[in-house]
Amino acid sequence: MNNQAMLSLVGDDSEIGGGTCFRLLLGAKLVTTTGEMPVMLRELSSAAAVVTGERLPSVGTDIILKRGRLETLATVAWTDGTRARLEFEDPLSGIDLLAQMNPIGPSHPGLPKSFS
């Protein structure tokens, strides 16, 4: 099964900036000029993300969203205090989206073969 077919299986029809949107509950970090802050990644599409956390940056702030190997430049599009929508400068690829669903990958050396 190719990546696009897999994405269509696990995604839903809601949108946060175009394309398939995935509802998640994953830890991530926002990096700003003043430091890093922990957030929860709640929704993810190729063009945008919704995060929750405390003391989120204000609208218009440029940030880097970090989760595992993913590091992408984004701008805070809106915030309501504990939630913020981030719009990515460059769209995420299908592989980047799929990697957030399965960050270990099928060939992780620490997993028994029955889990691969």
pLDDT band at 59 (very low <50, low <70, confident <90, very high): very high
What's 90's domain CATH number?
2.40.10.220
Residue 113 lies inside a defined structural domain of this protein: no
Q: How many degrees, rounded to 5, is the angle at CA 104 between CA 100 and CA 106?
A: 110
Q: Which domain holds residue 46?
A: 15-104
Residue 8 lies inside a defined structural domain of this protein: no
Residue 114 lies inside a defined structural domain of this protein: no
Residue 99 lies inside a defined structural domain of this protein: yes
- Report the number of distinct structural domains present in the chain: 1
Is beta strand 70-79 parallel, antiparallel or unpaired with respect to 83-88? antiparallel
Residue 65 lies inside a defined structural domain of this protein: yes
Task: For residue 58, report the phi and psi dihedrals to the nearest 5 degrees.
Answer: -80, 165
pLDDT of residue 4: 46
Lookup result for tokens 């913020």: 84
Does the pLDDT at position 96 exceed 90?
A: no
Exposure b/e, 38-60, CB count within 10 A at least 16 = b:
ebebbbbbbbbbbbbbeebbeee
Is beta strand 22-32 parallel, antiparallel or unpaired with respect to 62-67? antiparallel
Measured between alpha carbons, how far is 44 from 48 in angstroms, rounded to an integer? Answer: 6
Q: What average pLDDT does the segment 46-63 reach?
A: 96
Indicate the residue type of 96: D
Does the pLDDT at position 100 exceed 50?
A: yes
